[in-house]
């Protein structure tokens, strides 16, 4: 019986169609209907990794700043000194998208603070500086990102830079579900990605800078979010991954290539409403 359920699920996913969970123990095991998501790819899993909903889960897409979750794991795996002071240099500027940053050249923060800003506020220079200061430099860091992906079974994924600026940061919804499962085991990642705002002082002779979380759902009382990351470049569309507690069950959500700034949040709310109405 178990084999038949798994085989049926594989066939459904291969067709890119919505899939219901196969585990009877899940609160959301017998959902009906369709949440009508606008995101091009989506996957929703229960706390044990059973698929509640799937849509084009194996289509390879650019993932933009979702990349920064992998960046954080590689930094933390290396057990580098999180209190070491790192200084932003001209090498950390974004020459691909030409995005700006309030972390001007000369800004100095601890590795821990740069990690927080990269995850919480999706700060590109912070993420790039983390890769640049890795033992062996940027090439070694990117190689380690891809090595980590392979170790997690993310066989359709590829990483090209720590900030997610390159189009060649690629993955699938199903691979990113694996990445969420790994990332949630790092307390500093869960803490950083759910921090609403943070004040830092990168310049000794200037006032503080305030940064905010890029996920607006963290301010929504209906949501209990345990891990979060947004992403956007033109080629990737709007992306959002989360680990959230819904009716007492931990749910993983991956939404890729959403059209429109608010679409990932709308899809998240549609998902939650559909799950609660059908459970």
- Look at residue 16 in the predicted model and tell me its pLDDT: 40
- Look at residue 25 in the predicted model and tell me its pLDDT: 61
Q: How do the domains of the chain map onto residue ranges?
A: 2-59+243-278, 62-170+185-212
- Look at residue 279 in the predicted model and tell me its pLDDT: 65
- Look at residue 119 in the predicted model and tell me its pLDDT: 98
- Look at residue 233 in the predicted model and tell me its pLDDT: 96
- Look at residue 31 in the predicted model and tell me its pLDDT: 85
> In this structure, are residues 277 and 246 in contact, taking their beta carbons and an 8 Å threshold?
no
User: What are the residues whose beta carbons fall under 8 Å from the beta carbon of 237, sequence distance 6 or more?
Assistant: 40, 256, 257, 258, 259
- Look at residue 10 in the predicted model and tell me its pLDDT: 36
**pTM of the prediction?**
0.91
Encoding tokens for residue 83? 């209190």
Residues of the chain below pLDDT 70 = 1-25, 279
Active site residue ranges: 65, 68, 122
User: Which CATH number describes the domain made up of 62-170+185-212?
Assistant: 3.40.710.10
> In this structure, are residues 65 and 94 in contact, taking their beta carbons and an 8 Å threshold?
no
- Look at residue 33 in the predicted model and tell me its pLDDT: 83
User: What are the residues whose beta carbons fall under 8 Å from the beta carbon of 217, sequence distance 6 or more?
Assistant: 223, 225, 228, 242, 265, 268
- Look at residue 69 in the predicted model and tell me its pLDDT: 98
- Look at residue 195 in the predicted model and tell me its pLDDT: 98
CA-CA distances (angstroms) from residue 129 to 40, 55, 71, 225, 231?
Answer: 32, 35, 11, 28, 18
């Amino acid at each position: 019986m178990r084999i038949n359920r798994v085989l049926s699920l594989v066939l459904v996913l291969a067709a890119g169609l919505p899939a219901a969970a196969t585990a009877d123990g899940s609160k959301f095991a017998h959902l009906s209907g369709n949440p009508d998501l606008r995101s091009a790819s989506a996957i929703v899993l229960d706390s044990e990794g059973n698929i509640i909903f799937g849509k084009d889960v194996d289509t390879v897409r650019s993932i933009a700043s979702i990349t920064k979750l992998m960046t954080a794991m590689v930094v933390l795996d290396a057990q580098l000194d999180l209190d070491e002071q790192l200084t932003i240099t001209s090498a950390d500027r974004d020459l691909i998208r030409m995005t700006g940053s309030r972390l001007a050249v000369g800004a100095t923060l601890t590795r821990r603070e740069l990690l927080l800003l990269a995850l919480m506020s999706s700060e590109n220079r912070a993420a790039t500086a983390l890769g640049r200061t890795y033992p062996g430099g940027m090439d070694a860091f990117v190689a380690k990102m891809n090595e980590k992906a392979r170790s997690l079974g993310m066989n359709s994924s590829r990483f090209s830079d720590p900030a997610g600026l390159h189009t060649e940061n690629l993955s699938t919804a199903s691979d990113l579900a694996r990445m969420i499962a790994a990332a949630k085991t790092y307390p500093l990642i869960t803490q950083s990605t759910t921090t609403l705002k943070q004040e830092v002082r990168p310049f000794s002779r200037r006032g503080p800078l305030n940064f905010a979380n890029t996920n607006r759902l963290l301010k929504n009382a209906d949501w209990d979010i345990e891990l979060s990351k947004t992403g956007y470049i033109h080629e990737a569309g709007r992306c959002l991954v989360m680990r959230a507690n819904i009716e007492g069950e931990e749910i993983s959500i991956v939404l890729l290539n959403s059209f429109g700034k608010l679409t990932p949040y709308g899809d998240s709310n549609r998902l939650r409403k559909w799950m609660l109405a059908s459970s």
